[in-house]
């Protein structure tokens, strides 16, 4: 997968976290990604930028200036993909909407990644991760009791992943038809689509799927339990054989038939496991039960996961060095083993180099700088 998109050039215009993550994935799969950023910004990179902008180039460009728009359109003329995350109508005002861009390149894949999409009654509403998790129904499914504010930006990440998928499909379509397309992708619909696997069908106003998902997701032998050291283990003995092995090993084979029963039927087995798992530490239980082919893992913190030997063996934890941030451990790209992406660029770091590829000479570049275009 490292070179699957080799030869594809992506422009990231006005993107926030979802668009950055989309570019991060596509770049990791071989595409060249150029970020178009506002000139005059503080040069300090955020921790998000240090990871999600790895391997990318950066040009600072004032798109409100006609000359800045002209530079972007020249970039579009030879690009394969443009990702933009403005509110609906902004690209039209800037003169860089899909209709304007396809006049210089009708083969471009133009992805508008916004909060609620380009039409509909809520298209102009602000886009915040928490709102999408709550409004989609996801917040009710991520907490055991009352919904709580999440500690990760799942809406951002899944929307970036959905955009990367849609763009890849559009590039394949372009190969067949020869023309580009406009992708209108909303964060709201990206998050809502996640519920397809558990809560995807209603009939006559009532759920056909998902009504019992809570019970089935929290059966005694398929649940998260606290161990004696205060840490937690995820026990997933969902196979009848592993469930039987679990209760046999713990000395209550009679409870095995109840270990995978939801709700009240499994209460006795749940109480037994709760008491027994308090007798040893989380890691002791992992070592002991894993040896019996019983599915169990310790519930890690995100920081501990960076030491996961399986992820490291698969190249998903990268040891990198950034010129200003120093030595870092960073998450890699799924389905690749590549760890050699260039460090995240400073804003506008590649402006002159990119302009030269477009045919601008020293005098023209100097004029753009003097006019505050770059």
d(CA 165, CA 302): 25
Q: For 213-303, give the CATH class.
A: alpha beta
pTM: 0.94
Q: What is the 3-state secondary structure (H, E, C) of 78-130?
A: HCCEEEECCCCCHHHHHCCCHHHHHCCCCCCEEEEEECCCCCCCCCCCCCCHH
**Domain extents in the chain:** 9-195+344-370, 213-303
pLDDT of residue 285: 98
How many Å separate Cα 129 from the centre of its chain?
A: 12
CATH, range 9-195+344-370: 3.40.50.10540
Region label for 55, one of left (φ > 0), alpha (ψ between -120 and 50) or beta (otherwise): left
H-assigned helices in 178-250: 187-193, 196-199, 213-217, 240-249
Residue 211: half-sphere exposure toward Cβ, Cα within 13 Å: 8
Exposure b/e, 32-54, CB count within 10 A at least 16 = b? bbbbbbebeeeeebeeebbbbbb
- The low-confidence residues of the chain, meaning pLDDT below 70, are 43, 338-339
277 within 8 A of 229, measured Cβ to Cβ? no
- HEC string for 306-367: CCCHHHHHCCCEEEEEECCCEEEEEECCCCCCCCCCCCCCCCCCCHHHHHHHCCCCHHHHHH
H or E element at residue 270: helix 267-276
Neighbours of 76 (CB within 10 A): 23
Each residue's pLDDT tens digit, 250-306: 999 999 999 999 989 999 999 999 999 999 999 999 999 999 999 999 999 999 999
CA proximity to 77, closest of 111, 102, 112: 102
Q: Which residues make Cβ contacts (< 8 Å) with residue 60, sequence separation at least 6?
A: 37, 38, 39, 40, 41, 347, 348, 351, 374
Tokens of 346: 């400073």
- Per-residue confidence (pLDDT) for residue 338, from 0 to 100: 65
């Amino acid at each position: 997968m490292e070179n699957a998109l080799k030869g594809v050039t992506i422009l990231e215009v006005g993107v926030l976290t979802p668009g950055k993550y989309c570019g991060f994935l596509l770049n990791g799969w071989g595409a060249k990604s150029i970020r178009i950023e506002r000139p005059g910004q503080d040069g300090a990179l955020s921790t998000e930028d240090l990871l999600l902008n790895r391997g990318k180039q950066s040009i600072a460009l004032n798109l409100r200036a006609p000359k800045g728009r002209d530079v972007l359109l020249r970039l579009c003329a030879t690009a394969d993909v443009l990702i933009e995350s403005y509110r609906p109508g902004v690209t039209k005002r800037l003169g860089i909407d899909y209709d304007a861009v396809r006049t210089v390149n009708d083969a471009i894949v133009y992805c508008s990644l916004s909060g609620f999409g380009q039409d509909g009654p809520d298209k102009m509403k602000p886009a915040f991760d928490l709102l999408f998790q709550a409004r989609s129904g996801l917040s009710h499914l991520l907490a055991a009791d009352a919904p709580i504010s999440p500690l990760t930006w799942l809406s951002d990440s899944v929307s970036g992943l959905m955009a990367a998928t849609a763009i890849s499909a559009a590039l394949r379509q372009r190969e067949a038809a020869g023309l580009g397309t406009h992708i209108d992708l909303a964060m709201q619909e990206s998050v809502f689509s996640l519920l397809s696997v558990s809560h995807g069908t209603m009939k006559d106003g009532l759920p056909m799927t998902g009504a019992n998902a809570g019970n089935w997701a929290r059966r005694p032998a398929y649940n998260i339990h606290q161990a004696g050291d205060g840490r937690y283990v995820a026990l997933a003995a969902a196979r009848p054989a592993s469930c039987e092995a679990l209760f046999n090993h713990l000395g209550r084979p009679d409870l095995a038939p109840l270990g995978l029963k939801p709700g009240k039927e499994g209460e006795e087995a749940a109480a037994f496991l709760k008491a027994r798992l308090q007798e040893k530490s989380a890691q002791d239980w992992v070592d002991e039960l894993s040896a019996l082919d019983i599915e169990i893992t310790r519930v890690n913190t995100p920081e501990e996961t960076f030491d996961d030997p399986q992820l490291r063996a698969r190249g998903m934890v990268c040891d990198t060095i950034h010129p200003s941030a120093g030595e870092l451990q960073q998450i890699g790209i799924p389905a690749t083993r590549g760890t050699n992406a260039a460090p995240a660029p400073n804003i506008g770091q590649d402006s002159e180099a990119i302009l030269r590829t477009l045919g601008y000479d020293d005098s023209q570049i100097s004029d753009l700088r003097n006019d505050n275009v770059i």
